[in-house]
């Protein structure tokens, strides 16, 4: 079984994907983690990397090919990625929604040094910028809008529920 987890920034994609993989006893992959490693190696923040990707699509193309290869060569895994539902069609696709104020609260509490914020306005601006850059680029590249809920088997609003509750909802749907 393959499960893709996409969603709004700071909606809990990685946290939930890791927990689902643990419950299903399978491998977890994260394109966000991969992009953060690339950004760090380049001396950039994740948002700066997205700005760079606007001008040079080589990083996007490598990550996209990586996802496609996973979908074709592996049978049991969970991946958190904004584009996994597009590149791995034979999977159970989940989208996690999250209210803007909760996204900001979560971003302010993130432990990642390179992505930590102390001001809500700056955190909100960064969240909006990342989502806008990525969505626009992917719509141009692939004609694919990751925010279109028709692309998903299950949509969950994580604004007011814990990651454990989100995991339970996903596992319940998977059991059907």
Q: What pLDDT does 130 receive?
A: 78
Average pLDDT per block of 10 residues along the chain, 176 residues long: 94 96 97 89 86 86 92 96 95 96 82 59 79 83 92 98 97 95
What is the C-alpha end-to-end distance of the chain, expressed in Å?
13
Right CATH for 2-175 from 3.40.50.300, 1.10.20.140, 3.90.1010.10, 3.90.76.10: 3.40.50.300
Count Cβ atoms within 10 A of the Cβ of residue 131 and give its class: 0-12 exposed, 13-18 middle, 19 or more buried.
middle
Q: What pLDDT does 117 receive?
A: 55
Q: What does the domain layout of the chain look like in residue ranges?
A: 2-175
Given its phi and psi angles, is residue 111 left (phi above 0), alpha (psi -120 to 50 degrees) or beta? alpha
pTM of the model: 0.87
Q: What pLDDT does 166 receive?
A: 98
- Please calculate the CA angle 91-92-93 and round it to the nearest 5 degrees: 105
Q: What pLDDT does 164 receive?
A: 97
Q: What pLDDT does 111 receive?
A: 58
Q: What pLDDT does 150 receive?
A: 97
Given its phi and psi angles, is residue 25 left (phi above 0), alpha (psi -120 to 50 degrees) or beta? left
Q: What pLDDT does 115 receive?
A: 55
């Amino acid at each position: 079984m393959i499960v893709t987890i996409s969603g709004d920034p700071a909606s809990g994609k990685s946290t939930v994907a890791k927990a689902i993989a643990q419950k299903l006893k399978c491998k977890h992959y994260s394109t966000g983690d991969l992009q953060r490693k690339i950004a760090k190696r380049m001396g950039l923040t994740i948002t700066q990397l997205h700005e760079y990707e606007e001008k040079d699509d080589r990083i996007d193309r490598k990550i996209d090919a990586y996802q496609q290869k996973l979908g074709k060569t592996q049978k049991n895994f969970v991946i958190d990625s904004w584009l996994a539902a597009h590149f791995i069609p034979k999977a159970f696709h989940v989208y996690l929604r999250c209210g803007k104020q909760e996204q900001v609260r979560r971003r302010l509490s993130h432990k990642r040094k390179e992505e930590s914020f102390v001001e809500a306005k700056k955190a909100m601006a960064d969240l909006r910028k990342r989502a806008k850059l990525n969505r626009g680029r992917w719509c141009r590249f692939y004609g694919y809008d990751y925010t279109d809920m028709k692309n998903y088997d299950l949509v969950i609003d994580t604004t007011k529920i814990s990651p454990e509750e989100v995991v339970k909802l996903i596992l319940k749907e998977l059991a059907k």
